[in-house]
Amino acid sequence: MREELVLRVGAKVLAPFIVAFALYVHFHGDYSPGGGFQAGVILVAAFVLLVLVYGLEAVQQVLPPRFVQACAAVGVLLYAGTGIVTMLLGANYLGYNVLAHDPEHGQHYGILLVEAGVLITVFGVMATIFYHLAGRGRSE
């Protein structure tokens, strides 16, 4: 598929929009359907498209396997860390009310942080699994 001009240009044009859509789904999740889970999967879809057209090696230079593996762990840590921060601030684990002066704003910050953790984990996990399945059998 290396020679297909339409595919190569099409994928290059589409990928940023898919990433932008993923971020929209993530940050607009409070007001419309969406959230970290969906956004993480859509974000991976952009890179899957690039892998299909440009090949695994080219994409792994942009998005190294070690980086996505770290993402998977960082997301869980961000989620759990939010809970620890609220505990240190004197509330229950994952009780977001204390994150800001106004409880409602605290809830907003808390949901934002937690959803960001979900986004990063889902992105890292799906990309890791895809890399492992797609990269298998090439090194033989």
Residue ranges binding other proteins (CB under 8 A): 25, 29-35, 37-38, 41-42, 44-45, 48, 69, 72-73, 75-76, 79-80, 83, 93-94, 96, 103-104, 107-108, 110-111, 114-115, 117-118, 121-122, 124-126, 128-130, 132-134, 136-140
Helix ranges (DSSP H) in the chain: 5-27, 36-54, 56-62, 65-88, 103-135
Comparing CB distances to other proteins, the nearer of 12 and 132 is 132
Burial of 102 (0-12, 13-18, 19+ CB in 10 A): exposed
Retrieve residue 79's tokens.
């989620």
85 vs 94, beta carbon nearer other proteins: 94
Least distance to other proteins, CB of residue 15, Å: 15
**Tokens 């910050």 sit on residue:** 109
Nearer to other proteins, 5 or 30 (CB): 30
Do residues 111 and 30 touch, judged by C-beta distance below 8 A? yes
- Cβ contact 40:122 at 8 Å: yes
CB of 26 to other proteins, least distance (A): 11
CB of residue 55 to other proteins, shortest distance in Å: 14
Q: How far is the CB of 2 from other proteins (least distance, A)?
A: 18
What letter represents residue 115's amino acid? E
Q: Which is nearer to other proteins, 2 or 136 (CB)?
A: 136
